[in-house]
Structure formats: structure tokens, C-alpha cells
Chains A and B, each alone.
Chain A
Amino acid sequence: MATAGGARPPAPGDDGRRGAARVARVPRLLRVPVRRRGARMRLKLLGAGRLGSLAGLGRGGAGALALPGCLLYTRAGAAPHLTHDTLREVRGVPGVAHVALPALAEIHDVLEEYKEGAAKFMGMPDAVLYCSLHDPVTPCPSGYNTNKMVSLWGSSGRMEITASKFMDIQRAIQPDWFQCISDGDTISGEAGRKRAQKSVDRSLSFLDICLQLQEESPELQGSVMFGAIEGGDILEERLRSARETAKRPVGGFLLDGFQGSAMAKETKLKLIASVTAELPEDKPRIIHGVGKPDEVLECIERGVDIFESFFPFQVTERGCALVFSYDCHPAPEATVLPQNGIQDLEKNGAQEDQEEVSKADPEMTPFEISLKDKKYHDDFGPLLEGCSCYCCQRHTRAYVHHLLVTNELLAGVLLMMHNFQHYFGFFSAVRDALRDSKLDQLKELIFRQALQGPASTALRH
């Protein structure tokens, strides 16, 4: 079997470890061997960690994605709550849009009749589209996969699909990137070694079937398949999955089964690092289910390139706004509190928020404030001081609070615009930090906030 898609052998001077973040001496330009016409994706690494870019994306080959970076989370092809023109007001929107398969599987017959692919059907003909197997926000109950079939969960309920049916649907979608059908049902915390082993076996079996079917599908010649790395929380299985998947001619890798909170953090980080060490450097690595800024940084350090952006959507749905700082060097006049946040606990709005509102929403993180809180009723400051988003430039916390309390649809629109822009700005800051060798400072800033809430929210107007 050809290994044209496999990893390069180690060059002289390499210490043999591949994939983990380390300082390289010279920038390297590596190409994905083009086995298919139309797959012009190129990954370029600039040296600091895995700072770099993906170019040659999309139908015309003009799409690009800066790395490390995130995708634009959509629900059936539209950013949540946002029309095309409101999305245009958001700065830093990533070059690749993320859509989940279930919504498209439910309209498979429509897409088949349409014939021109999902991106065009959804009103984004020029977008670069990544299709994941599941929606990160929809829970996938455990126990519904078999050796031949995987269950998807959509608005009409459960759908069982085989590898063959999966490829039928992908032929109608014609995505630029897609996750190969895989069995990732290992996150419930009850999966043991046997279940982890099954997830790897099944996923490899699906992968081989789908690769063969892709060969036979003219509609998918331009699409890049991402192989899913499974194995639950069993190191052996994770390594096996990584090595075996890497032998196949996939265009990229997806680290699956790290969603949820059942896996211990130390285990999760160790497995991620171990997995990426087995993967070729010249192919992108996506992870599903990781969204919080501290966790994003931990994964980037361990060789992950691409993340989803469901996290700002979840923040929006609970009526919250992201306010964490990612500016390692704020201008002196913008520093509203000294960096010794511990002494300022009683002034720290977000800290109080955690105590009062975490009773209401246990999902709330230290990176956000809850605009439903009564104390914002007459706060005439923007959601976040210094933010240049549409909402912060025009509206106040008091207005957004009012919209939430009166159940107005506009609340979701404004919060989504702010939360997306802030999140995309965070990724931009990560790339800057890598370029300027300041990742440690950024980590320190983010991790400090993860523990005690952002320092900048106490200023009231």
C-alpha cells in the first residue's frame, strides 16, 4: 500500500520526536503530496511551535487558515443568530466554516436533488467548509454505535448510518474537509479497555472503506478526509489509532473522544501529547470538544493546530459575554487594576459573578460575565472596555441586560457578535505570542484568569 501520505523520516539532527511543540531552527515548507487533482492544501510551518498556515484551500484554492486557529462554528451553515451581513461586522472571522453532519444528513435528499453541494446551498458558495461527524453542542447518548453503524443526533432524533451511507451523504455535501465516520463513543466515562479497542478497530475499518469509496467518487476528488484518532483514555489504544491512521492517505487528523469532562485532565493532556507525537508534521491536527482558552493553550503546546468555536456560542446561550484578557502588554492607561488580582477580589466583578450566578448556571467559566445579573441593570459601560466589536462600540451592558431580561432575540445577536470577535482575537493573540516568543506570558495571563476571573471587569461607569 502506498505511503505517499505518510510522515517524513527524521532528518539528521532531529531528536526523533515529531509533532510536539519545540523550537525549530529554520522555517520549513512541507507539502502534502497531491494524490488527487484539486487537493491543493499546503501546510506551512514558520518555526515557533506550530505557528504557520494552511493555504490552497477551497474550490478555487484561494482559501487560507492561520495556525494555530479555530473554525467558524455554524448551525446548518449560518453562524448562530447571525445573518450574512451581521457576520460581516465581526472582525477576524476564520477562513474555514464548520458545519455538523446531522443537520445535512437530515436533508440528504434535498442536497442530492440540488447537486451543487452544501456550501452553495447554504448561501456560502465561496466558503471553505469542514464537515464534522457530530455537533459539538448536541449531546450524543452512549451505546448507539455498532461495528457497521454510527448514530447521529439531529433535530429529528437519531439517525443510523453506515460507512457507505456516510459517503453517499458526503457526495451530496461536497465538503472541502470532512471527518471520516468514526466511533467516538468512549467519553461517557464508563468505557473500559475493550470499548476503547473497539472504537479504534471500528474507526480504522470505516476509514479504509471510506478511502476506497472516495477513490470511486468524482464529487469528492477535491475533498480532504480527516482521519479520526480514537482510543478513549487507554494510551496503548490511542497510540495504535494514531500510528495506524497515520499510515493511511488522509489529509489531516482529528483528535476525537476528548469531549466532555469524564476524562481526568492529566490523562487528557498526556494522551494528546502522545498522539500528536505519532503524527506527521506536515498534516493539520484538529481537536473536537475543546474550547476554553486555558485548555486551548494546553492543546496548542501539545501539537494541536485547529479548534472549533462552539465555546463562544455556549457562552452566548447562557447570556454571558467573554471578557478575559489576552493582551500581555496592555497600554498603561488601559490597565484598570494592578496585576495582583488576589487583593482585589471584592472589586472583581467576575469573581462575584461566579458566586452569585454559578448557582444559576454551573457551566459558566471564569472567562465571562453574566449579563442577566441585576448589577448590570444600570451599567453604561460596554460589555468589555476596549473591545472594538459592533456591540461594544454602540451598546451598553445595561442595554444587553435589558434585552436578556425581556427575552429579546437581539440579545443573542449582539452577544454572539461580541463573543465570536473576542474569541477570534484570542487566537490571533496566540499566534502573535508564538511569533514573539511570548507564549509563556500569555499562558500566565490566561491561567491566572482561569483561577480567579478576569481583572478588567470591575470598572463600572
Chain B
Amino acid sequence: PRSVPSPGPMAAPAAGPPPVLRIVAECGRSRARAGELRLPHGTVPCPVFMPVGTRGTAKGLTAAQLAALGCRICLGNTFHLGTRPGPELVRRSGGLHGFMDWPHNLLTDSGGFQMVSLLELSEVSEEGVLFQPPHGGDPVLLSPERAMEIQNALGADIVMQLDDVVSSTTTGPRLEEAMLRSVRWLDRCVAAHARPQQQRLFAIVQGGTEPELRLRCLRAMTQRAVSGFAIGGLSGGEAKARFWRAVKLCTEHLPRDKPRYLMGVGYATDLVVCVALGCDMFDCVFPTRTARFGSALVPWGSLQLKNQKFAKDFRPIDADCGCPTCQRHSRAYLHALLRCNTAALHLLTLHNVAYQMKLMGSIRDSILRQRFPEFVREFMAAMYGGRGGPPAWAREALESVGITLG
């Protein structure tokens, strides 16, 4: 067995940037925390869900609309922006903030996930990921250094290390190799990061759902001086029973005083459970993507508004939702509008983002008021009440941190 590398001399700079996380309250039973992220473009309450604005736009929403919904941090994507329009152009536009006219915080991921998930021809080596750009041109190497260079140009408040990404169902030597390489690449990212005061670097813990690999990765990465830790390599096709155990293992071994960012998680139930397990930050394309397929998120599931059964349903999506869509429009109208006007997609995107913001706000509020376990029970009752109760994995996960469901 190969041993994990120990941190190099540059891994613990003398005066790092100020800590990101300020914990304001903790749940007395579970591992849930409520707090604030202190970032260059303002304070962000957490736990927080970050909408994904892949190419410098929160899909059909204007920056003003997104801010009006209460969003204070969203994602941009290094891979997509790095190819088009390219980091140099974005830098000349005043960084991604200037390009999008977004006054609040941004997080960019490194591009590793897209490289592997989107491209047919990509080859990983110790150097980096070699890939064939989808729109023509010579093969390009995305190395840890290049990933940092691009992210430095984009200027997001939080930047992610380049990690060696494998599918969450991978097992065997490739999984271990990827984990160890991710640690080495973390060191290279720390060394290459040219703007540590303006941009906070997060590590990404790997190891799939193999506890032993996860643990080794955790032990190594927590020795590095980074501002926060992401839990990567999950939320793919792995079994939920393995998923939550891997998350819990990570939160057990990550430092209390640094934010834990669980990547790719966005279904409401998953958010609630993973907050209970101790995660602070989440991102997922699901709410915005599903909106563009005509699906509206509600506390009891989702409404497929293209379905004929909504043609004469004159109620709003959710009578308790205060978003602009629910204030003005009915399900019947949205059903009709979906046929002929993209405005329908934007109305649904608005609602789904509002839903996510409201959910996280309720979660946070309940932690502050020391009633998070009750909130979880109410949430589960609303979501699964008529359908035979919450899924077994969610029950087990919550039980493991002291929350029992009825």
C-alpha cells in the first residue's frame, strides 16, 4: 500500500486569509450547524444551497432576479468558461463578477468533473487531464496549475482544487490511485494559487464509498492549509446506503471550524439529511434543470406542469410560496405558457430557486431556534406523509445522528 504524501513546505503559509466559517448555532442532537460564510463579496448565511450558473448565467434569470430571491453565492464552471469565452476575456471583463454583473459571491469548480463526465476523449495522467475540446482545436492539458490559473483569472470568491475524478461506483486500484493523486494535486494547487487573499481555496476529499480510502484522504488533506473542504466523488450512481455513510465519515474527520461543501447534492431530502450529518454548503443543477423540463418543486414532491391534469388547475404552484411566480400565476396558466413562451421556463426556474432558498432558510432558522429535529420530522411528514414514510436510508442516516422519525 502506498502511503499518502505529507504536506510540502508551502502547505502552511504563515498568514493565511481569515477563516471563512463562523458558527452561530449547533443542533443539540445531530451534527447540524448554522452559521455564516465570510467571503470577499459579502456574508452568506449557511447551510446554503448554491444555484449553478454554469456559463456565467443563472440560466434564464437575470442577476437582479437571482439576487432578489436571496441568493448570495452561486456557481460558475471553469471548464465551460475556460473553453468559451476563455479566462483572458473574462478577466478583461472584470472577472466573472463583472462579466455576469453579479455583486455577490461566486464559487468556481476546477473543471475536473466536466472533463471526465462530458468528454469522450480525456486521458488522465500525473500531469493533468488531457482532453479534446468539444468545439475543435488541439488537445489541451488541464493541469492543477492551469486550473488555478484559469480560476485566478475568473476571480471567484471560492476556488476548488483540481481533483482526479472517477465515477462514484468505481472500485479497485483506480479509486485509490485517484484519491492519492488528488492529494498530490491539492499540493500543486496550493502552490500555484496566486491570489490566496482574494480567493479561498477548498480541497476536495475523495475515496469513493470505501471507508478506508476516505479516511486516508481525510487525514492527508486536513493537514493542508485550505479554507474549506469539499466532499467529492459522491452523488453519482452509488447506493444511498453507502452515500450517507461516506458523508458522515467525512464530517466526522473534517475540522469543525471550516466549511464542509457537499458537491452535487440538491434534492430536498438529501439536503435535509446531509445538513443533519454536518454539511454546510451544497450545489446541484437539479432545481434549475428540472424547471426547464416543466417541473416545479413543492414541499410534497414536484408538479410536472406539462401534464394535462394541470390544464384547469387554477391554484398557484404552492399557495404558501411567496415567490413572484406563485404570487401571480396559476398552474393552468403555466401549463398553457409552457407550450409557446420561454418565459414559462424562467417562471419555473424562479420558483424552484425560491423553493431551495426557502428550504435552506427554514433549515437554518430551525437550527438557530434549537428545533432542527422537529423541523426534520415536519419536513419528512410533508414530503412522505401520504406515501409510506421516508426512504430507509434517510431514516438510518438521521438515526445515526440522533434524530428519530415517527
Contacts and interface: CB of A to CB of B under 8 A. Distances in A.
Interface of A: 75-86, 89, 103, 106-107, 109-110, 113-114, 121-123, 155, 377-378, 380, 390, 394-396, 398-399, 401-403, 405-406, 408-410, 412-414
B62 interface: yes
Interface of B: 55-65, 68, 80, 84-85, 89, 92-93, 99-101, 292, 311-312, 314, 324-325, 328-330, 332-333, 336-337, 339-347, 350
Nearest to B85: A402
Given A110-B311, A398-B89, A406-B84, A82 B332 contact: no
Contact of A84 (B57, B93, B328, B336): B328
Contacts of B58: 410
A80 B93 CA distance: 28
Nearest to B68: A85
Contacts of B65: 83, 85-86
Residue from B332, B340, B344 having most chain A Cβ neighbours under 10 A: B340
Contact of A123 (B64, B100, B333, B341): B333
8 contacts: A81-B342, A83-B346, A84-B328, A113-B312, A394-B63, A409-B342, A413-B60, A414-B62
B55 A408 contact: yes
B84 A83 contact: no
Nearest to A113: B312
A123 B329 contact: yes
Contacts of A122: 333
Contacts of A410: 57-62
Contacts of B342: 80-81, 409, 412
Contact of B343 (A78, A109, A114): A78
Residue from B100, B314, B333 having most chain A Cβ neighbours under 10 A: B333
Given A78-B337, A81-B343, A406-B80, A413 B312 contact: no
A83 B341 contact: no
Given A78-B337, A78-B341, A123-B329, 11 more contacts: A75-B341, A75-B343, A76-B336, A78-B344, A86-B346, A155-B339, A378-B92, A402-B55, A402-B84, A406-B55, A409-B57
Nearest to B314: A114
Given A75-B340, A114-B314, A378-B92, A395 B101 contact: yes
A75 B339 CA distance: 10
Contacts of B332: 110, 114, 121
Contacts of B336: 76, 103, 106-107, 110
B55 to A, nearest CB: 5
Given A85-B324, A86-B65, A403-B57, A394 B101 contact: yes
Contacts of A413: 60, 62, 346
Contacts of B80: 406
B62 A86 contact: yes
A82 B24 CA distance: 39
Contacts of B347: 83
A75 B62 CA distance: 20
A77 B337 contact: yes
Contact of A399 (B60, B99, B340): B99
Nearest to A410: B57
Given A81-B346, A378-B89, A412-B342, A107 B311 contact: yes
A414 B59 CA distance: 12
B347 to A, nearest CB: 6
Contacts of A395: 101
Contacts of B312: 109-110, 113-114
B340 A377 contact: no
A104 to B, nearest CB: 9
A380 B84 contact: no
Contacts of A390: 62, 64
A401 B85 CA distance: 9
A2 to B, nearest CB: 39
The 10 A-B pairs at the shortest CB distance, nearest first, are namely: A409-B60, A78-B343, A410-B57, A394-B101, A75-B341, A123-B328, A402-B85, A155-B339, A123-B329, A406-B55
Contacts of A81: 60, 341-343, 346
